[in-house]
Structure 1
Amino acid sequence: MMETDRNPADLHVPVLLNEVLEHLRPGPGGRYLDGTLGLGGHTRAILEAAGPGAQVLGLDRDAQALELAQERLAEYGDAVRFALCRFSRLDEPLAELGWDALDGALVDIGVSSLQLDDPARGFSFMEDGPLDMRMGLADGLAPASAIVNMAPLERLKLIIGRYGEEPQGGRIARAIVEARQRSPIRTTRELAAIVENAYPAKLRATARNHPATRTFQALRMEVNRELDELQEFLDRILPFLKPGARLAVISFHSLEDRIVKRTFKREASGCLCPPEQVVCVCGHVPQLRIVTTKPVVAGPDEIQVNPRARSAKLRVAEKLAPGGGPRR
């Protein structure tokens, strides 16, 4: 367990909590999935709002977070079930429980404060630590150090440019390759210094954030396959949702939000044929009704208490009954 002088319960504040409850509408006897349990803040609120008989299955790929959540939610007994599992693999723990239908599901796909604030996890350059960034050691994924020290130049450019949306991706990738030829890059601060020095002096002087911010974000997303994980989850969750059940997704990055928006739009459409196709031949049946036409964002009061909520976006969709959607 991470050594810290802070209470683990204070390390993570669940974002958009009131908005999640308003849209998820948990009720008595319902079964819910919290695919990113973290320290259990959203799960606790769902159980309190739902009332008697409600149950939540909480998943997390981080064994440390899961252990802390089990301690924090122990008072709820069998109302909460736990599984060390990536949320894209939700069907496995659901099958073990014998749950074939859900009344609602939530995923909050931002990196948790528990992970960010522990230097040993290597997510942040604010304090020095090993260049790791893995959300779950049991996933069998390579740490960030492997990518930084072994990936070809073109792959580094692609990762930093795509996932970090970093205009200086090429310069940064070349600086990393040059530095690792002298000696392996092992720590967060080593990498942060390399990225900072690669930035043009004028941009360094005017940057709102540390020049390494986007590069670290990009590497974290690559290490944990975050975009693939999200798409796999969205593709797998729909058959488990009852008609009327709601799916809530909180994202923190424009690429993630784009995946959620595109998937919701596709599954709310009655036809996926191109516009020039007069008669539908795809046979696509809509499965969702989009509840939030625009993403729900945090208000100023929440941002003041929890600055990390600033970039959070919540999208919600509702499962349709078979044949309940529009057709072209």
Structure 2
Amino acid sequence: MAVLHNRVSQKELKKRLFEEAEPRKTISFYQYAFIEDPKLFRDVLYKNLDELKVFGRIYVAHEGINAQVSVPASNYDAFKLYLYSISFLNGVRLNVAVEDDGKSFWVLKIKVRSKIVADGINDAAFDMSKKGKYVDAASFNKLTSDPETIVVDMRNHYEYEVGHFENAIEIPSDTFREQLPMAVSMLQEKKDKNIIMYCTGGIRCEKASAWMLHNGFKNVFHLEGGIIQYANKIKEEKLSNKFKGKNFVFDGRLGEMIGDEVISVCHQCGKACDTHTNCANEGCHLLFIQCRSCAEKFNGCCSAECKATYELPEEERKQIRKGVKNGIMIFNKSRQRMKKLHV
């Protein structure tokens, strides 16, 4: 029977990745579609993608699939052919990374979830098929040239911090499930205006657009393929770029430059910087922005306290973090945790 999960250590997998000579493509895609048996679909998917040496993180649920993957260049055509052989994925849009060193993922993880995007929606009357209208890059630029158009960023605050579209409204929350009711409340007086929602690859703003329509909004649009597709299209079609700064991505790269500007600052010294990193102290692992000089000063840590812990002998560090699982904090930058950055 085929092995349907990884059995090699993360350290070894990273080593193998950096030893690879063949280039890889980083690709993201999603599709809202009913999957009757997510577990069975997950196992078949794992077997086929593993054979193609695909790495990445994929979520499968009854409502569809959400994937960010890395594919060897020589297997890209076979990968695309396999995806398109699945009825509900035939012709699915594949977002190719804007900046890519091929080192985004080093293992394949496919997980079954209750939702492909945790949204907190429990309304049985909500219909995902009744979503906003897609707009492409050219249409986005045209619509947003009207000062009456409302542009809404449906990403987390730490994504917005390093890059966003001109005049975009931030929905100031830590999670998507918090953002949905907040967006409805914040925009209540603008129900009859053109509202364009966007996110990284399209999956969150597509659901958000459907939720806004469900709550009585009239003219709701969402950016097709999100920021990634937009960045590729403005290059192909030689359009003006309305995105400022960096697009945060949820893989080993942690970001790709879309605009030329650096619009955020180091969380420790306040200098212009948009480089995200995780605190080197394994017992913290906080995601934050750190410039090169502060990285040297604090030894890659987010605070003097974490630096002191990080510089203890390994056995002492192990005892301190015993029972604490911070691996899941790799993309956590909640406002509450950010309060510790007083150094």
TM-score (norm 1): 0.27
Whichever structure has more helix as a proportion of its residues is 1
Q: Which has the higher contact order (CA 8 A, sep 6+)?
A: 1
Q: TM-score, normalised on structure 2?
A: 0.27
Structure (1 or 2) with the greater strand fraction: 2
